[in-house]
Amino acid sequence: MSIDLKQLKYFLAVAEEKSFSRAAERLHISQPPLSQQIMKLESELGVKLFARTTRTFELTVAGKALMAEASELLAKMRMTIDTIRQIDRGEVGRLRVGIVGSAMWGPIPSLLEQFQTMYPRVTWTLHESGPNVQYEAL
């Protein structure tokens, strides 16, 4: 079985638009390749996803189930891609900050607060120690 994300994206467009022609417009493709991908998806799954008549169609029970599952899957995929990009930009992760005790009386608390606002998905921990210990830790 070789179902790909493109097929699921195409299927969702048809299911949401309730029209092959509107789905093709939305996807910026012509209708024949869209229909071919839907038929290929049905063949791969071994089920009919749409109950077709001459002018209309509706989702079968299997089609409704796939619509729900595919929506979740594609949303998860988009979130995963966003997270990976955020990690690459340093917007997700862990930060360990070494400070000397007196630094907490200066600008450090407000800087950490600003940092947390700008990068809410970065967790940070403070490690208080003397300058020599911090130098060795680097």
Residue 111 belongs to domain with CATH number: 3.40.190.10
Cα dihedral value 73, 78, 82, 85, nearest 10: 100
* Whether residue 80 sits in one domain with residue 27: yes
Q: Which domain holds residue 54?
A: 5-87
* Whether residue 77 sits in one domain with residue 17: yes
pLDDT at 24: 96
The token pair that represents 54 in the structure block: 């001459």
The total domain count for the chain is 2
* Whether residue 77 sits in one domain with residue 37: yes
What is residue 123's DSSP assignment?
E
- pTM equals 0.69
* Whether residue 98 sits in one domain with residue 70: no
pLDDT at 130: 81
Instruction: Please provide the distance, in angstroms rounded to a whole number, between the alpha carbons at the two ends of the chain.
Output: 50
pLDDT at 136: 81
3 state SS of 54:
coil
pLDDT, tens only, 86-104: 999 988 888 888 888 777 7
pLDDT, tens only, 15-56: 999 999 999 999 999 999 999 999 999 999 999 999 987 777
CATH number for 10: 1.10.10.10
